Structure 1
């Protein structure tokens, strides 16, 4: 491509996906007109890798703080490239088994989760979990000599492990983290309390053992409603005297009140708003 044409082409930025929902950013400077699902070869730090275009993204929306460089797209992948990638995936299965043997030989307390070859086999990454820090320097030497390539051992958390391994949640559907979630949000017990859910770790924990990510989906709505209406245990004034809010159903817009004489009465949010306006 001549220099004048390259100057005319505006760079196009994309989100690129690699194995098991590992994502990065890449840029097309040659006007390839890429679309979702296209496979491309990208230039990485040391060599070339292959990934699938997930979506186009504006340059200003790219989070530079993520630490990963924006990868340069070299070319579209060919059918031969895709066949070679499938062969690599099979080799990764065997590589993981062989690595486990080395881990057992060295007596290291680590759980191997996955293996991933760079497309040009210039690097082989092993993902693992461990309860504490692991000194794997000798293991890296063993693996480098055995596989004859650059080795990277990357420790991940239990949520990342579940994301890589996949599975099904209590809802019966494939895990959110393994299908469409790109980032993990910190979930606290506040998410449970504001949605008036019973604090039951067994029912509210996911496959990873942490609080389920889906607790965050409706949290903004409940948080907004909680700022407008009374909360459980709040005391409110009614025409019948002071009462305590003992239950709230934000979906049905009903709150249940308990009076000092142990009477219970449900009222709608609309009734409560009327009482508030009248200054009861």
Structure 2
């Protein structure tokens, strides 16, 4: 077993494990640790605990120290520098006439590097921009192109539900979301209704998918031939949550009646027709 603490460097960011070096820490404590990109100041998200050694990446780097008041002062100074660097970079982007949108600027704790995060529709030749920025800030410059979902996570905002974005409040990472999930949940395939502010499929489609997938296994699909207490018929609609099926009975009258899924027996499972052209138009929503 190995004793670890979990440290997060960004709000709702990924948690990295470190050796607490014999110190007992509380959630929310600020600590100084060494990372792959240098010394950083992070926040304790997971307090001291023992985990099997095989579950963590080795070697486990040790905690350098609990953050001192001067460390926190430096973090505040860096935050002010980031605002200035953001304004300068925006002007440089405009001067170089680059088709890119600056999203966020981040100084490393020791000021050894400045990271500029941006979005763009395609590849951008920013070599001259990097040289220009390096001449201004006299330190290492790194430009990172991010996706629209990452942009939404960094900037935050309110979703169509009226609540803050899931990605900027509690989601540590993005899970794949597909058009198939929207279809299985019987949602309208109108892009406006199933996409988030970022223009991609809403992350919340993933939350209930397992429940819907389980219900689909026990509920006759639309177009299924079923045996009902009143004879054979074809399922014309289903409500997965209530288990109610609307069935058109065989016969000259084509009578339509409602049944609970448990009241019918499937004779032939139906297939739902898929509009391929519609799906192709929605494929863009599945991208990250």
Alignment TM-score > 0.5, same fold: yes
Residues in 2 aligned to 1:47 and 1:55: alpha-carbon distance in whole angstroms: 21
Is the partner of 2:4 in helix, strand or coil?
A: strand
Asked if the contact 1:24–1:70 (Cα under 8 Å) also holds between the matched residues in 2, the reply is no
Deviation of 1:70 after TM superposition, in Å, equals: 5.8
Query: Among 198, 219, 227, which residue is 1:229 paired with?
Result: 219
Report what 1:213 is aligned to.
Answer: 203
Query: Among 3, 6, 17, which residue is 1:15 paired with?
Result: 6
Residues in 1 aligned to 2:244 and 2:137: alpha-carbon distance in whole angstroms: 64
Query: Among 101, 111, 117, which residue is 2:101 paired with?
Result: 111
Q: Which runs of 5+ in 1 are unaligned?
A: 1-9
Deviation of 1:136 after TM superposition, in Å, equals: 1.1
**TM-score (normalised: structure 2):** 0.83
Deviation of 1:24 after TM superposition, in Å, equals: 4.3
Closer/same/farther in 2, CA of residues 143 and 11 from structure 1, 3 Å limit: farther
Alpha-carbon deviations, 1:112-171, whole Å to 9, x = none? 000011111111101001111111111111111111111111110000000100001111
Residues in 1 aligned to 2:20 and 2:168: alpha-carbon distance in whole angstroms: 31
Alignment of 1:64-213 (within 5 A): 71-213=61-203
1:27 aligns with 2:10: no
Root mean square deviation of aligned Cα: 2.2
Residues in 2 aligned to 1:94 and 1:71: alpha-carbon distance in whole angstroms: 33
Report what 1:48 is aligned to.
Answer: 39
Alpha-carbon deviations, 1:225-269, whole Å to 9, x = none? 111221122221224332222222222221221224332211113
Residues in 2 aligned to 1:257 and 1:250: alpha-carbon distance in whole angstroms: 14
Is the partner of 1:255 in helix, strand or coil?
A: strand
Greater RCO between the two (CA within 8 Å, min separation 6)? 2
Residues in 1 aligned to 2:60 and 2:79: alpha-carbon distance in whole angstroms: 24
